[in-house]
Structure 1
Amino acid sequence: MRAYENVPVDPTLTRLYQDLHRHPELGFHEHRTAGIIADRLNRRGLRVTTGVGRTGVVGVLANGPGPSVLLRADMDALPVAEETGLDYASTATATSDGKVVPVAHACGHDLHITCLLGAVDALAADAGSWRGTLVVVFQPAEELGAGAQAMVEDGLFDRFPRPDIVLGQHVSPLPAGTVAAHPGPAYAASDSLRVRLIGRGAHGSMPQSSIDPIVMAAETVLRLQTVISREIPSTATAVLTIGSLHTGDAANVIPGEAELQLNIRSYDEQVRRTILDGVTRIVRGMAATAGAPQEPEITETERFPVVSNDPAALRRTLDAFAAQLGEDHVLDPGAGAGSEDVGILATSAEAPLAYWLLGGSDPSLFTTGDLNDPALLRVPSNHSPHYAPAIEPTLPLGVTALVTAARTWLATA
């Protein structure tokens, strides 16, 4: 039997998780979620501050001299319509950019919150066995790439103890019962851009009177693919995705403009700069070729820096996990193209980061414990409308991982 299977998990945690799952909130709108968190932390005796970085919550448990350890969980949900079929599935909606959108915890942040609250329960109940200061940070707007920076700018490390280590986890579609982490650069930098191409509208029967932004957009989309295939070395890791193209509303009307939204992932600053420069050059070039009446507008909408795990800090933390779970349940997934803003907390605090993935999928879906198991291609991933972690054993493992990591860095009483 694995160590986490012996950890008693408060049954209210499962009900809490299901409640959070039913009531997701978008970034910087996590008011209900923050209230639930603050209430629970207050009942555990922490010093609680709300409204940090707009909707963030910070709890501090000072327990004598010793290291300061920061545990972080993100709180926000996504504009996704849930299709899991769970009896606690979200049917919530919200207004975003003037549009009503569905909202769901399709990335597992509700599990992150629940696991951290469970870890606080365990550490507060056993405060006689450790010394130091526990700082728990419930961060807003991770999906926007803005929440960590907002908390830092709101004085996170001036108003609260500066940590000696930053710890955190993110649920993933790996088998529940495993944790995975990679030393050094582990999660990619991400840049999201909105491109507005301005043409000239006309009747569909008179294309000669138009400067067609649909043709301009189509040529731009195709040409942008060559940035990665022809300008970036094959040995570099980089992704360019056009996730949205919107223009026009009628078959017989040539519209006046088109909008693209694209996302860039990279690990190296020079590669990132090359891609961004290439995007700007191509977008402007396609507009000039089409004879556009004005230059296109290119706006940055999101920015995540590379997340880099401190090798020594991560090794110390993973060694503790291996002792708890068994070495075969601690994996190295390599560097991934996903992005996170947790690194901003560590960089701003000038503290090492140890950040890991928490397996969250039903282990029976996998035929092997290998990261190349083909089941990984079939299991719903984060951001999918079908994504939801298996509560058992993911929740007890997540609580155990956070408690184990915290105890590894706190002093022993």
Structure 2
Amino acid sequence: MRLLPLLLAAAAAAPALAAPDFRPAVKADYDGHLEALFIDFHRNPELSFMETRTAAIMARELRAAGAEVTENVGGTGVVGILRNGPGPVVLVRADMDGLPVEEKSGLPYASAARQVGVDGVESPVMHACGHDVHITSLIGTARQLQRMRDRWSGTVVLIAQPAEERVGGAAAMLADGLYTRFPKPDYALAFHVSSALATGQVSASEGIQYSSADSVDITVHGVGAHGAAPHTGRDPVYIASQIVVALQSIVSREVMPLSPAVITVGAFHAGTKHNIISDRADLQVTVRANDEQTRAQLLAAIERVAKGVARTHGMAEDRLPEVRVSEGTPTTINDAALARRLNGAIAAALGADAVVPFQQLSMGAEDFAYFVQPEHGVPGYYFAVGGTSQAVLDAARAGGPPVPSHHSPLFRIEPEPSVRIGTEAMTAAVLDLLRPAGR
């Protein structure tokens, strides 16, 4: 956030329409309805593109909130439309998939779910990234907007999106006509709960909010042999190990030091027995960047390095590693003018202290980026909502137990302030964008 003084001035001058008088209603709705919904979502997570139960609940809740609902958009996606006269169209998106992680949070409502994913593998499932907060808040926002129809004019498109964790759901919904079958948005909004941010706080950049992410699969070929006679083969485990090390030279020696970049090898699979040299090894790599030029540079260099290492170990040209990008999403960039405006609107509703300067604390990624790519002409606003109490954060900084990160089996957030603040902030943002003429 580059212009915090301007933000505070905007908050002071913001219209009465965004006044915080709806906050007690949000709290009451959490206590009476949303809390039970959140606990149910958390106990029953579903994997990417497999969110059939979650989607059915979202469709039911959006209909109950007065929306026109279409199901099975881009797979399991749900689109709900609230129409309320002339005015702009605002898209509000929440992602609904869980992760193949066994929950060890110790929460009384911890997930014990298991599911077979689209890859055919059965695994435990957990909401280890807070998507249960997002979808609960989407319902809360819809219910508040329906209750306050006299305060806004226009159309709200409410999206329950599948498969954010595989960065495929947003693209699938767009391919299934999200911007042609339904009202095309003038603005697209979303938020993510953050375990690194204190509850009660909201933070959004006036530029980059999330990095790009690409999943790269590398198949390293070798020549099988007996483990006691390595000279008779070509060991793919050794070649792949050399590739793992060599990939780090791309970040340290090829990318400009002031350009953030990450290459992480997250999985290495090879072999079946102690004394057998396999003929294949498989690497799974995640690649992160903060601009498209660096992103392209990293992907090209990974293929060059992998094949170059194999060549140095005598692999024939027709047996060089195969390098494939299986999933990917661009950087998520907030529209600067829109972010400045909505940061001010949220500060007016929640208090100036609630909106804090944005800090990019990791190179996490988001497929929300697909909704706001330049070719669509839809400005986007993505913000973070605090999910960990200040006391817990302070204790961790003082040497106490660390705060579990997203995707950890220990991940946990404070549901009540997270859902409530997410709902209040999103409601305030939509009300600001759909302010009736003359108000």
TM-score for both structures, normalised by structure 1: 0.95
What residue is the counterpart of 2:267 in the other structure?
A: 244
Deviation for aligned residue 1:139: 0.7
Q: For 1:233-382, list aligned pairs within 5 A.
A: 233-293=256-316, 294-335=319-360, 336-347=362-373, 349-367=376-394, 378-382=402-406
Indicate the residue corresponding to 2:75 in structure 1.
54
Structure 1 residue 91, shift from structure 2 partner: 1.1
Q: How does 1:8-407 map to 2 (within 5 A)?
A: 8-10=27-29, 11-96=32-117, 97-173=119-195, 174-293=197-316, 294-335=319-360, 336-347=362-373, 349-367=376-394, 378-407=402-431
Instruction: Give distance in 1, aligned partners of 2:264 and 2:310.
Output: 20
Q: For residues 342 and 327 of structure 1, what CA distance do their matches in structure 2 show?
A: 27
Q: CA deviation at 1:3?
A: 7.7
Q: 1:337 and 1:31, CA in 2 relative to 1: closer, same or farther beyond 3 A? A: same
User: Which structure 2 residue ranges, 5 or more long, are not aligned?
Assistant: 1-19
Task: Indicate the SS of the match to 1:331.
Answer: coil
Cα distance in structure 1, aligned partners of 2:367 and 2:260: 19
1:232–1:271 contact (8 Å) kept in structure 2: yes
1:376 CA displacement: 11
8 A Cα contact 1:4 1:396, kept in partner: no
- What is the deviation of 1:273? 2.0
Aligned CA-pair RMSD: 1.9
2:8 match: none
Mean Cα deviation higher: 131-140 or 248-257: 248-257
- DSSP-derived class of the 1:114 partner: helix
Q: Secondary structure at the match of 1:49?
A: strand
Deviation of 1:377 after TM superposition, in Å, equals: 9.2
In 2 relative to 1, CA 4–235 (structure 1 residues): closer, same or farther, beyond 3 Å?
Answer: farther
Task: Give the distance between the partners of 1:375 and 1:46, measured in 2 at CA.
Answer: 48
Alignment-mate amino acid for residue 27 of structure 2: P
- Distance across 2 between alignment mates of 1:203 and 1:411: 74
Q: Which amino acid aligns with 1:20?
A: F
Identity of aligned residues (%): 42
For 1:304 and 1:377, locate their aligned partners in 2 and report how far apart those are by CA, in whole Å: 33
Opposite residue 50 of structure 2, the aligned amino acid is: H
Deviation per CA, 1:57-83, whole angstroms, max 9, x where unpaired? 000011011111111101111111111
How far apart are the structure 1 equivalents of 2:100 and 2:22? 33
Unaligned runs of 5+ in 1: none
Asked if the contact 1:67/1:411 (under 8 Å) is kept, the reply is no
Q: Structure 1 pair 301/15, CA: closer, same or farther in 2 (3 Å)?
A: same
2:301 maps to a residue whose letter is G
SS in 2 for 1:69: strand
- Aligned partners of 1:202, 1:116: CA distance in 2, in Å? 57
- How far apart are the structure 2 equivalents of 1:204 and 1:219? 19
TM value normalised by structure 2: 0.89
SS in 2 for 1:411: coil
Deviation string 1:114-158 (CA, Å, 9 cap, x unpaired) is 001011111111212221111101111111111111111111111
**Residue 244 of structure 1, CA deviation:** 0.7
Tell me the secondary structure at the aligned position of residue 158 of structure 1. Answer: coil
Q: Is the 8 A contact 1:71 1:166 kept in 2?
A: yes
